[in-house]
Amino acid sequence: MPTTPDRANGDRAIGGAASYDLTEKMVPFLDRHLVFPLLEFLGNKNEDMLKAKYDLLSATNMVDYCTELYKELHHVEEVPEGTQRLTAPFERKRNQVLAEMAQLEQDAQKIIAVIENPEVIAALKQDKQHNRQFLEKEYGVRFPFTSEMAQDLFKYGRFQYSCGNYGGAGEILYHYRVLVSPRDRGAISADVELSGAGFPSLTRTTAGPQFVDVVKSTDAELDFAALWGKLACEILTGNWEVALEEVQNLKEHIESK
């Protein structure tokens, strides 16, 4: 079919628009969760795009969504046993995620039981200056937090993020930053292995000097990671005004170094 002038102009316009697409340049600097909305925005449902989404999220804990992507990609109603790119089939992976979520929730239960109380939430948001005294007097929460309590709260928030529960993760990180003061953070000595942009991955490591370097930077890195994580959560939930506030918090944190 011959190319009409209108069609030729349209093709040039599309090509011109594509030349301004910065997605490919931005992706290396973002974590997987922040890349996904960019792929969604492109709106392409072809096989290559579906595969890109599947490959992107298969390394996260968003198992249910990966299952649906697999079905759509392979045009099947059910996922055959053992066909996932990862080592475990979908159902087994899902069970592992649920089990780990339950364990992390149990580990952090002491502080979660307090911060999920509506009265506590209201008090913390209304009067941050006296929240520690309020929790000590009314709920027997002792400060400073132990290293384990702070780590457990942070790990639980990060795992919620990895599962795609950005709202829940944002709330947990908010409470982490409100309840763990800079003085308390200085006493924290979690084992943290940085994994690149944004939110670090918490893992145990015994790599000699690398372990020492990690521990020395832990308190500052955990605090910094919580700031980045909260910003990512607000972006991914579309809370733009709060996200702008978090950008300012990050700016102040960076400038204070």
For residue 193, which phi and psi values (nearest 5 degrees)?
-110, 115
Tens digit of each residue's pLDDT (9 = 90 or more) over 43-72: 777 888 889 999 999 889 999 998 888 888
Q: Which residues contact 217 (CB under 8 A, 6 or more apart)?
A: 192
User: Using CA atoms, how far apart are residues 225 and 254, in angstroms rounded to an integer?
Assistant: 12
Is-contact 169 160, C-beta < 8 A?
yes
Is-contact 144 197, C-beta < 8 A?
no
Query: Would you state the structure tokens that stand for residue 70, as one six-digit string?
Result: 């697999």
User: Using CA atoms, how far apart are residues 165 and 175, in angstroms rounded to an integer?
Assistant: 16
For residue 195, which phi and psi values (nearest 5 degrees)?
-120, 25
Query: Would you state the structure tokens that stand for residue 235, as one six-digit string?
Result: 């972006």
Strands (E) in 74-180, as ranges, are none
Low-confidence spans in the chain with pLDDT less than 70: 1-20, 79-89, 124-132, 140-147, 180-220
Please name the residue that has the structure tokens 């132990």. Answer: 146
Q: Is 241 in a helix, a strand, or coil?
A: helix
66: left (phi over 0), alpha (psi -120 to 50) or beta: alpha
pLDDT of residue 237: 96
Please name the residue that has the structure tokens 């990512």. Answer: 232
Q: Is 238 in a helix, a strand, or coil?
A: coil
Is-contact 84 70, C-beta < 8 A?
yes
**C-alpha distance from residue 199 to each of 169, 190, 221, 247 (Å):** 12, 15, 10, 15
User: Using CA atoms, how far apart are residues 154 and 126, in angstroms rounded to an integer?
Assistant: 23
pLDDT of residue 80: 63
| Local structure of residue 89 (DSSP, 8 states) | -
| Local structure of residue 198 (DSSP, 8 states) | S
User: Using CA atoms, how far apart are residues 70 and 78, in angstroms rounded to an integer?
Assistant: 9
User: Using CA atoms, how far apart are residues 207 and 48, in angstroms rounded to an integer?
Assistant: 39
Is-contact 142 148, C-beta < 8 A?
no
**What is the residue extent of each domain of the chain?**
5-90, 108-255
The pTM for the full model equals 0.72
User: Using CA atoms, how far apart are residues 29 and 198, in angstroms rounded to an integer?
Assistant: 9
